[in-house]
Amino acid sequence: MIRKVKGTRDVLPPESRLWAEVENTAHRVFDGFGYDEIRMPVMEPTELYVRSVGEDTDIVAKEMYTFADRKGRSLTLRPEGTAGVARSYIENGLGQRPQPLRLSYFGPMFRYEKMQRGRYRQFAQIGIELLGAATPAADVEVLLVLHTFLAELGFDDLVIVLNNLGDPEDRPVFIEQLKSELEPRRVELCSDCQRRWDANPLRILDCKVARCRELVADTTPVADVANPEARAHVEAVEAGLNDLGIPVRRAPRLVRGLDYYLRTVFEVVSPELGEDTVICGGGRYDRLIADLGGSQVPGIGFAIGEDRLVEVLPEVFRQEVFDRPLIAVLPIGPDAAAPGLSLSRRLALAGLAAPAEVTGRSLKAGLKWAGKIGARAVAILGESEIAEGTVIVRDLENSEQKTVRLDDVAEYTRRLLARSVEASTGSESNDGHERVG
């Protein structure tokens, strides 16, 4: 038996329906705010990530799937989406389009990590990028889109945490300050942080080792060292979010694991997964496109980890997805096969889920099958129904049945299934929407 690659997953039905519905919701919300999808390659030249994410980050230093292709070029399976968006922006001259440019992306990312709950080697991200706007309003918009999307999924317990990294010019001052404060306890830092000390000291704040976290807990927050403009920027973002009723919490030591961020950085955490298992990360990256050889184009965006998001989806959302009503089509007898499929098509095009029995089961066996796949009703097509242009629709919950004209069957079934959904959920409304934060 051949087994899947370690760290990859099969998302099976019906679980896969949750993923599809999460993605549909994301498209609906993102499209509503004017974000159009960009579809990028899953492999890029390795250099792209080295130059953008940064050589001394965990991602580039130890997590990339990098390989030489048959001509010896170094390629990397994308570990994140923003670098690819920046590359595409430059390569396709997207700066020529009306700015700001709003983009969304969906798809698999790859990181060679230690497997554990919520941490996979192939995982999916859902992200947006807002390019060409440097104002605080742009940051507020991106966080508003995030908040709206999560609220549409029915979340009411997620927390958005935010910090101010300042500008790259502030970094040496901050690093000097950080090092002087940590110097007396330097030997207590983990071996990774010993290496970071010279290579990329900011990353010490991002270390997951408990002792390192304790040691950095009392250091001066990076925001305190930020220049006045950067401070005013992030304070304006917070004020804008406050005006919109979006709660965010300052996280003074949040730095995020990618080098290109400046000023606003943020994360979304869930009480269920804990602060170590972040659902979404994002921030501003005003120098990234210039650093990759493009012009000065500011940007801000976020990436949601879809695997982690699906794991903590609110019960209301799960139920709505799993309770999708089904009507099974039962053609009885060899001459009923084609009319049965035709009926399936008619119902499917009317927006109903109507799988047909195609293995030649008898009526009795067909009813049993319909019960097993969770059908609420069956549409029975026998010789006389076909001759008369009718269908027998049977409600499996109360065994009531009615002969319906083919032209009316979709409408009749829709009403019948809607009644059965109402009966099973108690009502058609649910309020779990609107509160995130």
Instruction: Using CB under 6 A, list all residues that contact ligand ATP.
Output: 80, 111, 113, 118-120, 123, 125, 256-257, 278-281, 303, 305, 307-308
CB of 383 to ligand ATP, least distance (A): 55
Q: How far is the CB of 257 from ligand ATP (least distance, A)?
A: 4
Instruction: Output 117 or 186, the one with its CB closest to ligand ATP.
Output: 117
CA distance 32 to 287: 28
- Least distance (Å) from ligand ATP to the CB of residue 352? 35
d(CA 246, CA 241): 5
Nearest distance, CB of residue 316 and ligand ATP, angstroms: 22
Residue closer to ligand ATP, measured from CB, 51 or 394 = 51
Nearest partner of 151 among 161, 143, 140, judged by Cα: 143
Q: Which of 125, 164 has the CB closer to ligand ATP?
A: 125
Q: Tell me whether residue 108 or residue 252 sits nearer to ligand ATP (CB atom).
A: 108
Residue 271, Cβ density class (10 Å: 0-12 exposed, 13-18 middle, ≥19 buried): exposed
Euclidean distance between CA atoms 196 and 199, whole angstroms: 5
**Spatial CB neighbours of 25, under 8 Å, sequence gap ≥ 6:** 149, 152, 153
**Residue 421: how many CB atoms within 10 A of its CB?**
14
Alpha helices in 250-362 (DSSP H): 288-291, 306-311, 315-322, 337-349
Q: Which amino acid is at 374?
A: G
Question: How far apart are CB 278 and ligand ATP at their closest, in Å?
Answer: 4
Can you tell me the distance from the alpha carbon of 385 to that of 402, in angstroms, rounded to the nearest whole number? 12
Q: How far is the CB of 172 from ligand ATP (least distance, A)?
A: 24
Indicate the residue among 131 and 278 with the shorter CB distance to ligand ATP.
278
Specify the DSSP element, H or E, that contains 84.
helix 82-91
- For residues 7 and 374, which CB has a smaller minimum distance to ligand ATP in the complex? 7
Residue closest to ligand ATP, measured at CB? 305
- Supply the minimum distance, in Å, between the C-beta of residue 282 and ligand ATP: 7
SS3 122: strand
Question: Which is nearer to ligand ATP, 7 or 95 (by Cβ)?
Answer: 7
